[in-house]
Amino acid sequence: RHAGAAGAMEVGLAVAAAAAALEAQVASCAAQLEALGGGAKPKRGSKAEAVRKRKDDLEASLERLDELGEAIFDDVFCKRYRDVHARVRVAVVERLGKWIAARPAKYLDTRYLKYVAWVLDFPEGSERAAAAGALARAFGAVDENTREALGDFAARFVPRLAEMAHDADEAAQAAAVGALDACMDCGLLADLDLGEDDVADVTDKVYSKIVDEAAAPELRAACLGLALKYEDFDVARAGGDGAKTLHDLGRFVEASILGDDGPLALAPLAADAFLDLGDDSRALLQDWRAWVDVLGRDDVGTQSPQAARLVDVLLRLFLAAANRTEAAGAEALGAALLDALPGLLRK
């Protein structure tokens, strides 16, 4: 039964890929017809008539593939995703995720996604991991044309994915954070239609995993990268004020990530995660003039234990960024520090 279900779903994957290719050809024929002005009844023997016939043939083939795909979905997936054996359930759920990625125009729809999401509550960790992985594929296929239609779906199941960051199964934890990351990248996570308390609950579940020393380092790093993406430390949004953005980043790491008793040794990990987010983040964290400005601010000092803790975090972020700079960046770092270092040392 496992082999049969997996094999049938693989056939369905091939069908989905072939149907997606046919859809592209149908769209191309439609564009050609429009350009030729063929209309509903092109002239006999004209190029438009040939294109029309080609389009009709492609649509007939696409209809047959759709019928086959629906038959596999109804007769195989809808029965085997509830199979008594977990490995059978995992096999069909994983492959449905591949269907969605292969042909999002059809399968990136709540009619199919809801089955995957229901598996997030199944008893075996392997099947919860498979479901979260399938959702990651689905979120990875979202674009501006499909994002709005999936808003309600994301609002319903993102809280469950956040809970799974603390799943009993490590693979399920990693897959859930991966799904949340894909949800963030496609723009759904930032636009969730959730209440303030619900949003705080989602972020708390992810952020608390960062300081969980029992968790796998890779999982903590993934949660940290997701948190930094979500908070969106963008210089442009701060009016081009790099110093303010760095201060906000340090404050976020100190207060929201580390909290009152989180280990300060995590601060360099935050710098590494931020540097890995892309060119804009790297440019901000290695803007040495902005660092000099933020460290020289009047409200950055050791007036209180809390203020001193923020300074400690900022310095650890700064040093981690400096350690990963290249030769040209090192020259800029030296130039920025030459004038400022005496004042910073006195401070």
CA distance 97 to 93: 6
pTM to 2 decimal places = 0.85
The pLDDT assigned to 261 comes to 67
The pLDDT assigned to 173 comes to 97
Count CB-CB contacts under 10 A for residue 92.
Answer: 29
The burial class, CB within 10 Å (0-12 / 13-18 / 19+), for 143 is exposed
Distances (CA, A) of 327 to 78, 316, 336, 341: 58, 20, 14, 20
Query: Mean pLDDT in each 10-residue stretch from start to end of the chain (347 residues)?
Result: 96 97 94 78 77 93 97 97 96 97 95 96 96 96 91 95 96 97 93 88 92 88 91 77 90 81 78 87 89 86 81 88 81 84 84
Taking alpha carbons only, the member of 9, 24, 187, 3 closest to residue 100 is 9
The pLDDT assigned to 18 comes to 97
CA distance 154 to 147: 10
The pLDDT assigned to 44 comes to 74
The pLDDT assigned to 26 comes to 95
CA distance 237 to 218: 30
